[in-house]
Structure 1
Amino acid sequence: MTTIDTTQSTTLPGAQAESLLKQIAGWGPVTTIVIHLGSVFEFKGPFPDGSVGHGFYNLNGPVPGFHGHLNLGDVDHIAFQTKPHRGRESYALVFNNRNGDTIFKIFLGRDDQGELLAHQKAAFFELMQDENSQ
């Protein structure tokens, strides 16, 4: 796993992971990244809606598509990553465990010209601002 690398210190408590994932499911295409033992797995497309069952948040995406079972109990905090990637602005929500290890990241999506999707960027900054104002 990797440790968080952000330029912002804003975080959400892990208890908000389920409600945040339900919001993200309505955002449209994003890039979800899981880094495990030196390999990087990416999924580009809508983050699927999910529901809690048997101790996991179960992703209910279409087949074929993105599926999985997330142990949200392991999410201690969610960081707002705001750092350039390859010289371009880039934003992600980084789901971390209590040791600061990254479980997975969800990057904002881009349009056909490679520009960030404006509605996602607005939602990201609204979440960050709401957390900073508390």
Structure 2
Amino acid sequence: MTAAVAQISDRRERALAALAEKPDGVVEAIATAADVTPAEILAILPKDSVVIAPKESFLDIWNELTTWGVVLFLVHTEDVVAEIDGSLPVGSEGHGWFNIHGDSPIGGHIRKDNCVSISFVDRAFHGRRSCSVWFMNGKGSAMFKVFVKRDEARELIGEQLQKFETLRDRYATL
């Protein structure tokens, strides 16, 4: 076994052990515990938990997400987890950025070209089903995530869940 293969195997084993310890925990925390990337954790989730779409689908997926109504937009860094409820504005490209502005608390600029894939994640989170769309960068981290919202009873909103499943299934067959 070459050193590179051994290192990949070791990373995978650490990721599997950390995931087994907290299977419904925060992916970034599991990745940190294993000293791997969040993408490496997503890669070892059960097959029906993650569907990956190519980066070329960014605009199609974003445009579909703008029809979902109020979502939870989440940015998770090492220092901050920012959660914003709002509708995703339609974006436009300019000056090297994907610009989002509109009548929503969600706005700003995204380096669309840094997105290497989009993951549809459907897994348990602290004992409850959670569905989200992760826009992944080349470092193996989520640039940002868009979550199906919950209602007052903490249940996933049915209409958004259906839209998530339909969009995810479109890419599951690729």
TM bracket, shorter-chain basis: 0.7 to 0.9
Give the CA RMSD over aligned residues. Answer: 1.7
Larger RCO (alpha carbons 8 Å, 6+ apart): 1
Task: Answer yes or no: is the 8 Å Cα contact 1:18–1:57 preserved in 2.
Answer: no
Aligned to 1:99: 139
* One-letter amino acid of the counterpart of residue 74, structure 2: I
Looking at structure 2, the residues matched to 111 and 48 of structure 1 have their Cα atoms a distance apart, in angstroms, of: 22
The size of the alignment, in residue pairs, is 132
Give the drift of 1:99: 3.0
Using the TM superposition, name which of 86-95 and 46-55 deviates more. Answer: 46-55
Q: State the TM-score, normalizing by the size of structure 2.
A: 0.69
Calculate the TM-score normalised by the size of structure 1: 0.88
Matched with 2:89 is: 48
Give me the identity figure in percent. Answer: 27
Contact 1:47 1:66 in 2 (8 A): yes
Q: State the structure with more CA Rg.
A: 2
Structure 1 portions without partners, runs of 5+: none
Q: Structure 2 stretches of 5 or more lacking a match?
A: 1-27, 29-37
Question: What secondary structure, in the 3-state scheme, does the structure 1 residue paired with 2:138 have?
Answer: coil
Give the number of the structure whose residues are more often strand, by fraction.
Answer: 1
Q: Hey, what does 1:118 align to over in structure 2? A: 158
More helix by percentage: 2
Are residues 1:67 and 2:90 paired?
no
Letter of the aligned partner of 1:89 in structure 2? R
* 2:148 corresponds to 1:108: yes
Give the C-alpha shift of residue 113 in structure 1: 2.4
